[in-house]
A and B are shown apart, each in its own frame.
Chain A
Amino acid sequence: MDFTFDTEQDDLRDAVRGMLERAYGAIDQRRKAVAQDPGFDERLWGQLAEMGLLGLPFDESVGGTGAGPVEVAIVAEEIGRVLAPEPFVEAVVLAGGLVDAVGTDAQRGEILAGISDGSVLAAFAHAEPGTRWSPAAAQVTATEADGGWRLTGVKEPVPNGARADVLVVSAVADGVTRLFLVRGDAEGVARHGYRTHDGARAARIRLDGAVAEPLGEDAGDRRADVERALAVARIAYAHESVGAMSTALTTTTEYLKTRKQFGVTLNTFQALTFRAADMYVSLELARSIALWAVLVVDAGGDVVTAAARARLQTARAARHVGQEAIQLHGGIGMTAEYAVGHYTSRLTAIDHLHGDGDWALARLAADVADRDVVDPLGAPYTG
C-alpha cells in the first residue's frame, strides 16, 4: 500500500499545471474560451496532444502514451483545479476508453491514434430523453440492411456532440445494447449544439437512418462494457472534482483572509472559519477515496463498485464545498465575473453526467446486506 506519487508523476503534474495555469490562471481566460464554440480552446487541445496527454490511457501500439490510470487522474485533477473546459474526461477517458475496450484492432488503430494526436474529437452519445444513468440504450435502434447498419432515434444531451468528429453511439439491436461508430458528418445525422450551465457544450443528435459501423466484432450485449467505461470515467471525474473543490476552498480561504467587514477581516469570525474547516474535511475524505478508486483501476479490481464509492463521496463533498464556497463569499460569489460560482456550476454538472450521489448510494445499498466489513485494501478491490 503506497499513496505517494513517484517523481515522474510529480513531474507530469508540474508540467500540466504549468501549462494550464498559463491558459486559465485567471477566470477571465476561461470565460473567454467558453464564450464561443466549441466551448474550449482548440489550440490548447493541440498542445495537450503534443504533450502526449490525450493518449495517456492508450497503448503505444495504437498511438497512445501507454501511461496508467494514475497519470490520467493527475491530468483530470489539474483540469479541475483551473476549470479548464477541454473535454479530457469526456473525449479521452470515456469515448476513447470505449473504443479501446471494445473496438477492433483497426478501429483502435485509427481512432485512438486520432484522439491521441488531437485530430479526432470523440464523444459518447448515450443519454436519451427520459433515461437516467442506465448502461443500456433505450429508444435509439440499430438495424442492419444491405450489409450496413443504420441508427434511428434521438441522443441528448451528448457532451461535445456538435463538435465531435466521431460519435460512439449506444443503440438497441436485436433486443440488446450495442455500440456503433458514427461520423459526425455522416448522412442521416442532425446535430443541434448548445451551451450547458457550466460553460461546456452538449447537443441533441437526431439520427435518421444514420450510417453506422459496429464498434468491435462481437454482436453481444455491451452493457457491461459501457458500465465499466462509465465507471472509469466516474473515477476520473472524482479527480476533476477534487481539483475543483481544492481551488474552491483556497479561493474561499483567501477571500476570508482579505475581505473586510465591520472593520476586520472575515477570518476573525469563527462562524465562517469553522465552516471552512468542515469544507476541508469534506475535501480530504473525497481526495482519499478518489486516490483509492484509481488504484483499484490500476490493480484490476472491482472498478464498478469503487466508482460508486468515489461517486457517492465526491458527490456529497461537491455539494457541500460548492454551496459553502458561494455562501462564505457572499454576493460576490454569485457573480459571473468571479471564479467561485463557476466551480460550483462545474461540480454540479459533473454530479449529473453519469450518476449523482443518491444514484451511487442506491447501488451500494442494494447489496449492503451481503457484506460484513468493507476492506478497501482487500477483495474485491485488489483484483
Chain B
Amino acid sequence: MRLQLSPEDEKFREEMRTFFTTRIPQSMRDAVTARGELAREDWIESQRILNAAGLAVPDWPVEWGGRDWTPLQRHIWRSELQLAGVPEPLAFNTSMIGPVIAAFGSQEQKERFLPATANLDIWWCQGFSEPEAGSDLASLRTTAVRDGDEWVVNGQKTWTTLGQHADWIFCLVRTDPAAKKQRGISMIVFPMDSPGVSLRPIELVDGSVEVNEVFFSDVRVPAENLIGEENKGWDYAKFLLGNERVGIARVGSTKRLLASARQYAREISADGHPLIEDPRIAARLAELENEMVALELTALRVVAHSAGGRPHPASSVLKLRGSQLEQDATALVMDIAGPLSIAAGPDPDSDLPDWARRSAPGYLNDRKVSIYGGSNEVQRTIIAGTILGL
C-alpha cells in the first residue's frame, strides 16, 4: 500500500501533462473546456498530433502503434488528456473498431485498416443500435445476405454518432436468420458513400445534430469486409462494449468541468457577492468534488486489478457513478448561470458569456451519458447479477 506515484509514473505523468498542454493547439483545448463544438478538421488534426507521438492508441497491440504501458500509465494518459482539454482520440476508431480488428481481424484487414484508423485517415462510425434494438441489442434486424463474393446489406441503424463526418461504418448485421438471437450476427464494414447508404440527421433536444439514422438498401459489400469469422459478431460486440466502459468514468473531463464551474461561480455575482460565497453553491461544489475524489480512487483501484484485458466487474460502478457525476456537474454549471442559462447556444451579439449560453444545452445534451455505452439500468443489472449474485 502506497499513496505516491512511483518516480517513474510521476515522470510519465509530467511528460503527458507537458505534451498535452504544449503540443495540442490552445484554441482546440479551450473549445473542449468550454464544451464548445469542434470542426471535423480539428478532431483530425488533434488525433494526428497524438498519433505522430505514439499517444493516440496506447492500448492497442504494440505492433499496431500501441504502447507497452501498465494499466496505471494508461489511466494517467487518459486522465491527463481529459484534464488538459485535449480532444479525445475518436472512440469509434481507437476504442471500438480498432481493437476489434487488432484482436479478431485477418492480417490483411489489420494492414488495410489499423494504420489509417489510428491516424484518423478513416473516420469510423458505429452501426449497432436499431429502432427496435436499443439496450436489447441482440434483437437487431439489419441483414446481410451472401451473393457470390459480396454481402448484400439491408436495414436501418440509428443513434449513429457523428455519422455525418464518417468515411466508414462498422455494423452488426444478421447473417444467419435461422440461428438463435445472438448466434447469427456478424460484424461487417463498408464506406459510407457506398451505393444504397443514406443518412438522416436526428436533431436532439439541445438543438445539436450529432446522431443520425443510417439506412441500407441493397448495399453491396465485398466478402473480405466481414471482420473475423462469420456469425461471431456478438462476441466482438461484447469485447468492444467492454472496451467502451473502460475510461467511461470520465474522471479527468468532469474534474475539468468542476474547475470551470468554480471559476464561473467566482465570475457571477449574486446580491453584490461572488456566487461562490453562497454556502449552498459552495456546498454543492465541495460535495461533487468529494464524490469525484472517491470516483477517481475507485478508478485507480479498478485499474490496478484489471488483468488480461478483461474489465474489472466494478467498472460498472465507474460507468454508473461517472455518468451521474458528470450530469450533476453540468447541472451545477447551469444553475450557476441561473437566468443567463435561458439563452440557447453562443451568439457573438450577446453580452452573456459563452459558457452560460451553452450551459442549458450542455445539461440537456449530457442526459445521454447515462444512456449510451450500456444505460445505467443495464449497469445496475450487471452489478446485481455479476457482482451481487442476485
Residues of A near any B CB (own CB < 8 A): 1-6, 9, 70, 249, 253, 256-257, 267, 270, 273-274, 276-278, 280-281, 284-286, 288-289, 291-292, 294-296, 298-299, 301, 309, 312-313, 361-362, 364-366, 368-369, 371-374, 376-377, 381-382
Contacts and interface: CB of A to CB of B under 8 A. Distances in A.
Interface of B: 1-6, 9, 72, 83, 255-256, 258-259, 262, 265-266, 274, 276-277, 279, 282-283, 285-287, 289-298, 300-301, 304, 314, 317, 320-321, 377, 379-381, 383-385, 387-390
Given A257-B390, A277-B381, A281-B321, 15 more contacts: A1-B3, A2-B1, A256-B390, A270-B381, A273-B384, A277-B320, A284-B317, A285-B295, A285-B317, A289-B297, A365-B286, A371-B262, A372-B262, A373-B256, A377-B5
A144 to B, nearest CB: 42
Contact of B320 (A276, A281, A309, A365): A281
Contact of A273 (B266, B287, B293, B390): B390
Contacts of A280: 317, 383, 387-388
Given A2-B2, A313-B291, A374-B292, A281 B383 contact: yes
Contacts of B381: 270, 273-274, 277
Given A280-B387, A281-B317, A3 B4 contact: no
A273 to B, nearest CB: 4
- The 4 A-B pairs of least Cβ separation, nearest first, read A295-B3, A288-B297, A273-B384, A365-B286
Contact of B290 (A70, A309, A381): A309
Contacts of B317: 280-281, 284-285
A291 B262 contact: no
Contact of B291 (A285, A371, A382): A285
A70 B1 contact: yes
A291 B297 CA distance: 9
A6 B1 contact: yes
Contacts of A289: 290, 293-294, 297
A159 B185 CA distance: 64
A20 B285 CA distance: 41
8 contacts: A5-B1, A256-B390, A273-B384, A285-B317, A291-B301, A295-B3, A365-B286, A374-B289
Contacts of A299: 2-4
B283 A295 contact: no
Highest count of chain B CB atoms <10 Å: which of A256, A278, A280: A280
B282 A368 contact: yes
B4 A1 contact: yes
Given A276-B390, A286-B294, A376-B296, A3 B1 contact: yes
Given A291-B297, A369-B262, A364 B1 contact: no
B289 A9 contact: no
A368 B285 contact: yes
A286 B276 CA distance: 27
Given A267-B390, A288-B294, A365 B5 contact: no
A229 to B, nearest CB: 21
B283 A362 contact: yes
A40 B380 CA distance: 39
A365 B293 contact: no
A256 B385 CA distance: 12
A2 B71 CA distance: 12
A125 to B, nearest CB: 31
Contact of A368 (B276, B301, B377, B390): B276
A374 B293 contact: yes
Contact of B287 (A277, A361, A377): A361
A249 B321 CA distance: 18
A89 B258 CA distance: 35
A381 B3 contact: yes
B3 A298 contact: yes
Contacts of B294: 285-286, 288-289, 313
Contact of A285 (B83, B256, B262, B321): B321
A377 B4 contact: yes
Contacts of A361: 283, 286-287, 290
Interface centre among B262, B285, B290, B381 (most CB of A within 10 A): B290
A292 B5 CA distance: 13
Contact of B276 (A256, A312, A369): A369
Contacts of A312: 287, 290
Contacts of B300: 1, 3, 288, 377
Contacts of A364: 286-287, 289-290
A253 B384 CA distance: 9
Given A1-B3, A276-B384, A313-B291, A369 B296 contact: no
Contacts of B390: 253, 256-257, 267, 273, 276
A373 B258 contact: yes
A368 B282 CA distance: 6
A365 B279 contact: yes
Contacts of A284: 298, 314, 317
Contacts of A382: 3-4
Contacts of B379: 277
Residue with the highest number of chain A CB atoms closer than 10 Å, among B292, B314, B387, B388: B388
Given A365-B282, A373-B258, A288 B298 contact: yes
A373 B259 contact: yes
Query: Among B6, B265, B298, which residue has the most Cβ atoms of chain A within 10 A?
Result: B298
Contacts of B3: 1, 292, 295-296, 298-299, 301, 377, 381-382
Contacts of B385: 273
A369 B1 contact: no
Contacts of B389: 253, 257
B1 A298 contact: yes
A277 B388 contact: yes
A276 B382 CA distance: 12
A361 B281 CA distance: 12
A273 B388 contact: yes
Contacts of A5: 1
Contacts of A292: 3, 293, 297
Contacts of A270: 381
Nearest to B266: A369
Contacts of A257: 389-390
